Amino acid sequence: MKFSVGFLDWLFGEKVKIQLEDGRFRTVTKRWIKKMEEEGLMRKIDGEVIRVNILDPFADVQSLITPGVEKQGHYRQELWTISEDISEETVHEFKDPITDDLYVLMTEREGYSKPQPYIMKRDLWDKAKRQMDAIEGNPTDETSAFLRNMFGRNEKDKKAFVEVLVANSQSIAMTMLEDRSIDNKKYLEVFMEHLYLFLHIADRMAYSMMTEKSRGETMPKVVDLSIRVAIEATCGHWSDEQKAKIYDECMDNFCSTSEEFGQYERVFGDSETGDKDTLLWEFCKNIAKICGCESNLGAIVGHGWVISVALKNIDIESHLKKLK
């Protein structure tokens, strides 16, 4: 990015040092500042500011629905003016003692048309960021090899869908294991709970996107293969008898979980009603319970946006269109 309005301005123009919203300092010319202000691309901040680290799953929504819009990513930094953008009391309560920064998660809230900032303690924010960063949808080498042997050459679309469902579920569980939100004993349970959720949402969407015959032919196969691949990715070294037993248990759990999920009319909340009494909210409460922090509102909200990022990464709708 150029910080002058021309070569001569850079050589001979009067220069000043400014601090950008991401906290970095840049040397620019005064003519460049005037030009940016006239174009509405820059504003001078008066008063004391604080750097704010923001996780915003909504930032990529426009890139998903509008061709040509560049993906922004779910993390950014901003400078907020104390007493104008945020109160001194809030800064005093939530400012991290090590970085002197604030940590924010953007969420939908009842009564607001746009996402609102939810200020968090740094440790919870860090967990949410690690989980969002980890969701790449890339299967392990072992999973990829297993998938190659399970699908025919004409089933590449089904293979791709199963692959991304399992990979995102595994990624979330692995990140939670690494940051010690769960231990090894709870790893498989958390892995499968997320897979059940993604499969259930996929089936809901298939109900509205596919004919009854197409859905009946497609979704049972996707469920069966997803669970088999997940077991292979986790318990591949076990005997066939042990894996068969785990498979039967997982299929039973999926059926009972889907019945429970079906009680919720809405998967997500909206700006008017909020997230309470939705499938996503109740699911995240259950995950928080598994982690032993069911009373921690920040953990529930944070995990909700981990799920949102994963669903955007999976892009169920695109896969179902190819399987119709």
- Written as one string, the DSSP assignment of 42-91 is -----S-EEEEEEE-GGGGHHHHHSTTPPP--SEEEEEEEBTTTB-HHHH
* pLDDT tens digits, one per residue of 32-85: 667 776 777 656 655 688 889 988 876 655 444 344 445 567 788 888 888 888
Is the pLDDT score of 6 beyond 50?
yes
**Shared domain check, 222 and 296:** yes
What average pLDDT does this structure show over 251-257? 94
**Shared domain check, 252 and 105:** no
**Shared domain check, 213 and 161:** yes
**Shared domain check, 313 and 221:** yes
**Shared domain check, 211 and 291:** yes
Which pLDDT does position 130 carry in this prediction?
78
Is the pLDDT score of 106 beyond 60?
yes
**Shared domain check, 137 and 111:** no
* pLDDT tens digits, one per residue of 258-290: 999 999 988 887 655 566 778 999 999 999 999
**Shared domain check, 202 and 113:** no
Within-domain flag for 126: no
**Shared domain check, 30 and 66:** no
The string of DSSP letters for 225-269 reads HHHHHHHHHHHTTS-HHHHHHHHHHHHHHHHHHHHHHTT-S-SS-
Within-domain flag for 217: yes
**Shared domain check, 300 and 195:** yes
CA 21 to chain centre: 24
Which domain covers residue 176, as residue numbers?
A: 133-323
Other residues' Cβ atoms within 10 Å of the Cβ of residue 313? 16
What average pLDDT does this structure show over 209-215? 92
**Shared domain check, 151 and 60:** no
* pLDDT tens digits, one per residue of 151-180: 555 578 888 899 899 999 998 998 888 888
Contact 230, 169 (CB under 8 A): yes
Within-domain flag for 65: yes
What's the structural domain count of the chain? Answer: 3
- Which token pair is 223? 């469920």
Which pLDDT does position 30 carry in this prediction?
73
**Shared domain check, 220 and 311:** yes
Within-domain flag for 127: no
Per-residue pLDDT band at 296 (split at 50, 70, 90) = confident
Is the pLDDT score of 205 beyond 90?
yes
Within-domain flag for 109: yes
